Amino acid sequence: MSDSDLRRKPLPILSIEGVSKRFSVGGKTVQALASVDLRIDKGEFVCLIGASGCGKSTLLRIMAGFETTSSGKVSMYGAPITGPGPERGMVFQDYGLFPWLTVKENIGFGPKQRHLPKAKLDEIAAHYTDMVGLSAFADYYPGQLSGGMKQRVAIARVLANDCEVLLMDEPFGALDALTREKLQQDLLEIWARTKVTVVFVTHAVEEAVLMSDRVVVMTAGPGRIEEDIPLLLPRPREVSEPGFNDVRRSITQRLSSHVASKAPVVVQAGVAVPAGVTS
């Protein structure tokens, strides 16, 4: 690639460069992430996958601005991320809805903080309530909704806040299989309509292959990016297709070969060693 090609290449919407993260636990320093580099371009759907404890959620929270890095940098369009912002919306497994607000009030919460006129707020809430198929439930409270409906509200609330990046931390992990499959398809339709960038944490290989443009494989001890796998399967995808199963099997095998000890890594005298090992 020539220098002129590099100059024309647009900035990634998210850039993670040399990011490491350490926590203090019980008087010891535990290294959760080590030297993570990742580029995410505008409009991509990227899945982070790996065993529990590999740092997927920590990396996502750093992108959201909820966590700081111990070293390295994370940026959006080249500007450092120093904290949360409406352009990066987080969707959690436990929904995070306000129980005292209705569906439309939850969805309109972010725009309301911008002091928009009531007519505009109503328009935004109605638009995104309709987008997730909940217009008939606009005046319901979260306690009156199923788990799948709550997660639709959570997604709509983030989108209504004009977010450019949807950060999703195993959002469908607590749902039954049928509801999960329906929401996977709903999310793909929303992604196709809005062109929002999605970073999606999962531990399910099938889910990652079904939904993403790239599968980023992370390993533990400490958390690192082991492989960044582009998926060339055409959309829409069907899990019953032979090509789909070939890709799923290949990624599963790679994950299995990269499984490391789940013991946390402790930093002793500047050197990372598995917990329980003394120098």
In this predicted structure, what is the pLDDT of residue 265?
A: 43
Mean pLDDT of 21-38: 90
Residue 260 lies inside a defined structural domain of this protein: yes
Q: Which segment of 71-75, 117-121, 269-273 scores lowest on mean pLDDT?
A: 269-273
Q: Which segment of 60-69, 149-158, 188-197, 261-270 scores lowest on mean pLDDT?
A: 261-270
Tell me which amino acid residue 215 is.
V
In this predicted structure, what is the pLDDT of residue 221?
A: 78
pLDDT at 12 over 90: yes
Residue 182 lies inside a defined structural domain of this protein: no
Under the banding of pLDDT at 50, 70 and 90, the label for residue 116 is: confident
Structural domain including 272 reads 9-82+197-279
User: What are the angstrom distances between the C-alpha of 252 and each of 193, 206, 207, 248, 249?
Assistant: 30, 9, 12, 6, 5
Instruction: Work out how many domains the chain is built from and give that number.
Output: 1
In this predicted structure, what is the pLDDT of residue 24?
A: 85
pLDDT at 134 over 90: yes
Mean pLDDT of 86-107: 93
Residue 97 lies inside a defined structural domain of this protein: no
Mean pLDDT of 195-222: 94
Percent of the chain with pLDDT over 70: 89
Q: Which segment of 46-50, 109-113, 146-150, 265-269 scores lowest on mean pLDDT?
A: 265-269
Residue 2 lies inside a defined structural domain of this protein: no
Q: Which segment of 24-28, 53-57, 58-62 scores lowest on mean pLDDT?
A: 24-28
pLDDT at 112 over 80: yes
Residue 263 lies inside a defined structural domain of this protein: yes
User: What are the angstrom distances between the C-alpha of 206 and each of 49, 75, 237, 245, 250?
Assistant: 11, 30, 11, 9, 11
Stated pTM of the model: 0.87
CATH, residue 22: 3.40.50.300
Residue 13 lies inside a defined structural domain of this protein: yes
Mean pLDDT of 61-76: 96
Residue 205 lies inside a defined structural domain of this protein: yes
What count of other Cβ atoms lies within 10 Å of the Cβ of residue 19?
24
Residue 179 lies inside a defined structural domain of this protein: no
Q: With beta carbons less than 8 A apart as the criterion, state whether 237 and 210 touch.
A: yes
In this predicted structure, what is the pLDDT of residue 60?
A: 96
